[in-house]
Amino acid sequence: MAKLKVASLFCGCGGMDLGLVGGFTYLGKDYKENPFEIVYSVDNDPYCTKIYNANFQHKCIVKDVREINIADIPEFDMLIGGFPCQSFSISAQNPPRLGYKDERGMLFFEMVKILRERQPRFFIAENVKGLLSANNGKAFPMILNEFRAAGYKVIHKLLNAADFGVPQKRERVIMIGFRDEKDLVKYHFPMHVRQNERKVLGDVILEEANQEENLFFSDRAVAGMMAVREKMNKGRVMRLDEPCNTISAHLAKVSLNSTDPVFMVGDRYRRFSAREAARIQSFPDNFAFEMVSQGRQYKAIGNAVPPILMWNIVKPFQDVLKVPALNIKEIKDEFPDEIVSNKFHEDGVESDKNVLISYVKNDTIEMFLDGSINVYYTGKKFPSTVALNKLYYFMPYKKGKGIRDLYLIKIARVGSKHEVHPECDENDFRLVFEVEFVKQLFDDFYMIDLPIWHTFKDTTMKEILSIRNQNQNLI
């Protein structure tokens, strides 16, 4: 399965991105690689970026999302981002519940702006539970309407990370946008993991952290908490046999006189170590944070999306991205002679026609380059997403170079290589295109993404001509 290219906004230290790409181990369980690759990531926090770049092959850039030149973002199929959530948080008290009126809450418009201009196939947005009720319930419908106005069919669900193997009760609103209805109907939000796969705080506490004296609260802090504990409900000690309460970005300044989760060792209270906090968030132990100060580590970890939660969210995309192959024999039975035939239009290239771009093998590329080829045999597999009865043009894709030349598909039919290679099985059916050279459409080869098995792209001449005209304008 070909990997989809992803652009990541507000990426932080990379929790969302790690869950998206997969390929890591957490508490002894392997989380397999997903069919995604990050081609662009950005965050305005240089410390989070430093952590990110120490852990990912693709490097994140430090930039305010409002300063992004959208044209500079490489080609991508999915946009992801947990846009800043402080102004939507239920616990945000200073100032109270600003919601989308706050400057940080407005940053989701930058995500919408990129969606409007670039129109990727999907997007995934994440935010806190408080988003659902922010601004007397007005913020969330407005946000959904903005995403829909950008051209997307949007679904959303409140998910609790604890239901998916994360040892933390962390509720988050997940919004997923689909440009095409056919993708939407294939996606389903993930099922909860089985009870025996769920994790609790005791699974991630480290014995060596009990020896770190700086993690323990002073006798004075404990006495102050005990004085108001009953009426203020302070000193939130976590049970080892349950998931931890939600951890936050101010872990370095955890107080007993707050609702922050803490831990007891014997009769002493202590905060979590940075590595324990990372484990609570479901980061694997080989994910490095030590290149920044401990305070910066706590902040980055507390603001992150749990990788295991994100991994479960994107896992159902396996079903969305599956492309079944056509049954060539059935097509042969239905169309014994030809599927479609076309003729040149005297007025030149027609922009409303469909064009198939296909990788061609090295043993035929020379004939494609000199325009002498008149027949193209596809492989045994051909994607069912391509509307054969609409095909009109064909463009060969040369490995390492891209596309350049335009051909007319005179006839599309079912045949076999036995027609020109007697040693081949005559019943080994495949699609055959009888083609004729039209013109060299590009001055030089142009690289283009082949999203189906890295082999095919079904598009229109309007899109191809638009690419050509953009190139000419840049000269």
> Which residue is catalytic, options 11, 48, 60, 85?
85
Amino acid at 181: E
| Residue 94, token pair as written in the block | 């200073």
Own/partner pairs, 239-242, CB within 8 angstroms, 24+ separation = 239/200, 239/201, 240/200, 240/201, 240/202, 240/205, 241/200, 241/201, 241/202, 242/200, 242/201
Cα dihedral 227→201→308→33 (10° resolution): 150
**Residue 218 burial class via C-beta count within 10 angstroms: exposed 0-12, middle 13-18, buried 19 and up:** exposed
What single DSSP character describes residue 29?
A: E
Would strands 153-160 and 171-178 be described as parallel, antiparallel, or unpaired?
A: antiparallel
Whether 85 is catalytic: yes
Which three-class secondary structure state does DSSP give residue 285?
Answer: coil
Q: Are 382 and 326 spatial neighbours (Cβ–Cβ below 8 Å)? A: yes
Kindly provide the residue ranges of all beta strands, DSSP E only, lying in 169-286, ordered along the sequence: 171-178, 236-237, 261-265, 268-270
Residue 389's closest CA among 409, 405, 359, 416?
409
DSSP 301-355: HHHSPPHHHHHHHHTTHHHHH--PBP-HHHHHHH-SS-SEE----TT---TTSEE
Q: Could you list the active site residues? A: 85
